[in-house]
Amino acid sequence: MVLKELKKIWAFGIPYLKPYRFRFILGIALSMFFGLSNGLFVLSVNALFNRLAPPAAATVTQPKPASASPAEISPEKDSLVKTLQKDLKKNARLIGDFFKTMSDQWLPRMGQPVTWQQMLGGFFLLPLVMGGRAMASYFSTYCLTWVSARVIRDMQVAALKKAQELSMAFFQRMPVSDIYARITADTNAIYTAMTNGFIDTIREPFTVLSILISMLIIDWKLTLIASCMLPLVLVPVVSSGKRLRMLTKKFTGLSVTQSGSLLEALAAIRIVKAYAMEALQLKSFREQANLGVEMSVKTAQTRNLLNPLIEILSMLGVGFLLVFVFTTNAKPGNLVAFLTALLLAPLSIKRIANLHLTLQMTSVSTQRLEELFSEKPSVVEPARPRTLTKFNQGIRIEGVTFSYGHTDVLHQVSFEIPKGKKILINLLMRFYDPTKGRILLDGHDLREYATKDLLAQMALVSQDVVLFNLPVATNIGFGHEGATQAEIEQAAKRANAHEFIMKMPQGYESPCGEHGQLLSGGQKARVAIARAFVRNAPILVLDEPTAALDSKAESEIQKAIDSLEEGRTVICIAHRLSTLANMDEIVVLDHGRIVEHGTFEELLRAKGHFAKMAEQQRLTAKD
């Protein structure tokens, strides 16, 4: 089960690992060395403490008379198995003789004279083994953490890039808090699994394996007794993993909901205060937090239940071992070595068990990220986009119908915008594609152009001005990548923004605050207009640019907009009809259908929908 979950995470992360494969392989190799060094440490303890016993009395054995073996009688019938047995016994004897020679040369023995070489060997054997083990642990952890940090950085950048490539329909369907959690919390969960998981997946199994081999070398009977408790650990490990996976799914969903509520409460703090909704918001958030506490406690119980269980079982193994030693009169070195092994092995077994739980939790995050990366944009880029370097002729909307779900919001809309309702802007800028019909620019369907080239021909000034918590100059410069300071200041002057910017504490380097909260509505609108000046696009799209402003601010902003409109094709969406007074053609939509079109004066005299709206806003036709 551990390998299955790790394989999923590995398959998801391997494209991000490739640039760092050398250091990753080095970290894996050092982790393997660390695991093997534990078995070497057990063998070293055994060799050192067995030297505390005095040498056994020499015994002379009379060789048995040679008997005719089947091989000697019939050499041609000697089987391959018997040959291998002889070779194995011979090699084992050679290895044993080698280690005995090295032990006699470098390790002191109780009751015999001690040389300087033996004193040095006895003193430095265990420190050298543990020193190598410690260095392998340090550098393997460093290498794999170094790699994991960069992999997660690349993964987060890729996740954000993927989200940016998706169409607006995705953002209407997916809460921002959920997207945020996938890019941050889920990638951090994978980081934890990578730093601990890759290390423990290599290190701990090699540790258990090397300790097991060393114990078998020392005494296979003792090994079987000490290992009898191991199968009992597997059942709770597997069952805990399944429960933890279920809890993690619930906890992740709850965290996303709680984060969304918190973001909404803080973003709409003015409305919350204005309607005295603090108590209601706090009650809702407290209920979600209480559910979070309950889920956290259940998760902690599941994770930590294994540790005492493994410790109890390992101590039972020690008890069986001691009984066996006292009843069989085993060597003291064997006892010390086995006690050492039984102290090291449970630690690795606990890490493997915790690794299983960690991977179960991480698999949920991996699945959520895979869902994000598998999303397909509803607005598809053309395979061979038409070149668009300059806007020449005009824009034509032909029989456009658009639906949100099963509801049509535009019905067979057709009109032409020669050179010189908000959903139309979204369609024009290819945030969405029409359900039916098409939009033509210079005689070609928008879907034939690369979206990047298409948007380069447009500048947007919206009612909802989006500013980032960055310097004013940077926010204006977003209109055109690579804009110089001189171009930014010139654009600000044309937008009537230069004066108030220079009065700010740091001038053009003054931050705008989160969502531009350090600026007034009129100031934010001027910055947005300056951004459009910097872009210098031939098509200007105005989306209710003065709807949220008072009359005085509207008059000042309208002057800047009039300056911006010069020499450009202007598409303006507005409910404040005074904004449309200078438009060459006005199209009136009602329930998604065109009901009127004409100039400002023509529509006022027609006494239709437009005239009724104008009357409500106290606008009259010129005599």
Convert the pLDDT of each residue in 279-316 to its tens digit. 777 787 788 788 878 877 877 777 677 667 767 776 77
8 Å CB contact between 54 and 111? yes
Q: Where is pLDDT greater, at 72 or 562?
A: 562
Q: Where is pLDDT greater, at 10 or 535?
A: 535
Q: How far apart are CA 252 and CA 259, in angstroms?
A: 11
Q: 44-48, 304-308, 426-430: which range is least confident on average?
A: 304-308
Q: 199-213, 264-278, 319-333, 446-460: which range is least confident on average?
A: 264-278
Q: How far apart are CA 339 and CA 572, in angstroms?
A: 82
Share of the chain above pLDDT 70, in %: 79
Q: Where is pLDDT greater, at 63 or 90?
A: 90
Q: How far apart are CA 213 and CA 222, in angstroms?
A: 12
Residues whose CB is less than 8 angstroms from the CB of residue 307 and which lie 6 or more positions away in sequence, other chains included: 350
Res. 189: pLDDT tops 70: yes
pLDDT for position 351? 77
| Angle 332-334-340 from CA coordinates, rounded to 5° | 105
pLDDT for position 489? 92
Residues whose CB is less than 8 angstroms from the CB of residue 545 and which lie 6 or more positions away in sequence, other chains included: 461, 462, 463, 525, 528, 529, 557, 561, 572, 574, 579
Q: How far apart are CA 612 and CA 610, in angstroms?
A: 5
From edge to edge, which strands make up the β-sheet containing 407-418?
Answer: 407-418, 394-404, 436-441, 444-445
Most confident of the following: 48-52, 340-344, 507-511, 544-548 = 507-511
Question: What's the average model confidence in pLDDT over 24-49?
Answer: 86
Give the pLDDT confidence of 224-238 residue by residue, as tens digits.
766 666 666 666 666
8 Å CB contact between 582 and 562? yes
8 Å CB contact between 622 and 601? yes
pLDDT band at 365 (very low <50, low <70, confident <90, very high): confident
Amino acid at 172: Q
Question: What's the average model confidence in pLDDT over 155-166?
Answer: 90
pLDDT for position 5? 67
pLDDT band at 71 (very low <50, low <70, confident <90, very high): very low
Query: Considering all CA atoms of the chain, what is the largest pairwise distance in Å, rounded to the nearest integer?
Result: 138
Distance of CA 542 to the CA centre of its chain: 37
pLDDT band at 548 (very low <50, low <70, confident <90, very high): low
Main-chain dihedrals φ then ψ at residue 408, nearest 5 degrees: -80, 130
- Specify the DSSP class assigned to residue 56: P
Question: What's the average model confidence in pLDDT over 127-145?
Answer: 88
Res. 63: pLDDT tops 60: no
Mean pLDDT of the chain: 79
Torsion-angle region of 464 (φ positive above 0: left; ψ -120 to 50: alpha; else: beta):
beta
Closest by Cα among 602, 531, 597 to 561: 531
Main-chain dihedrals φ then ψ at residue 469, nearest 5 degrees: -75, 65
pLDDT band at 522 (very low <50, low <70, confident <90, very high): confident
Question: Six-digit token pair at 301?
Answer: 């119980």
8 Å CB contact between 251 and 296? yes
- CATH 1.20.1560.10 residue ranges of the chain are 2-53+89-372
pTM score of the predicted model: 0.67
Q: How far apart are CA 276 and CA 258, in angstroms?
A: 21
8 Å CB contact between 173 and 227? no
pLDDT for position 72? 47
Q: How far apart are CA 433 and CA 167, in angstroms?
A: 10
- Specify the DSSP class assigned to residue 68: -
Question: What's the average model confidence in pLDDT over 516-539?
Answer: 86
Radius of gyration (Cα) for the chain, nearest Å? 38
pLDDT for position 139? 92
pLDDT for position 314? 67
- CATH 3.40.50.300 residue ranges of the chain are 394-616
pLDDT for position 157? 92
Q: How far apart are CA 83 and CA 357, in angstroms?
A: 47
Q: 184-188, 195-199, 387-391: which range is least confident on average?
A: 195-199
8 Å CB contact between 30 and 140? yes
pLDDT band at 557 (very low <50, low <70, confident <90, very high): confident
Res. 77: pLDDT tops 50: no
- Token pair 């008072």 is found at 550
Res. 62: pLDDT tops 60: no
- Specify the DSSP class assigned to residue 397: E
Share of the chain above pLDDT 90, in %: 6
Q: Is 496 helix (H, G, I), strand (E, B) or coil?
A: coil
pLDDT for position 113? 76
Other CB atoms within 10 A of residue 432 CB: 19
8 Å CB contact between 394 and 418? yes
Q: How far apart are CA 397 and CA 417, in angstroms?
A: 8
Residues whose CB is less than 8 angstroms from the CB of residue 519 and which lie 6 or more positions away in sequence, other chains included: 467, 512, 513, 527
pLDDT for position 112? 73
pLDDT for position 56? 55
Pick the CATH number of 2-53+89-372 from 1.20.1560.10, 1.10.10.60, 1.20.1080.10, 3.60.20.10: 1.20.1560.10
Distance of CA 108 to the CA centre of its chain: 56
pLDDT band at 154 (very low <50, low <70, confident <90, very high): very high
Torsion-angle region of 405 (φ positive above 0: left; ψ -120 to 50: alpha; else: beta):
left
8 Å CB contact between 537 and 565? no
8 Å CB contact between 479 and 534? yes
Q: How far apart are CA 623 and CA 621, in angstroms?
A: 6
8 Å CB contact between 248 and 170? no
CATH architecture of 394-616: 3-Layer(aba) Sandwich (3.40)
Residues whose CB is less than 8 angstroms from the CB of residue 96 and which lie 6 or more positions away in sequence, other chains included: none
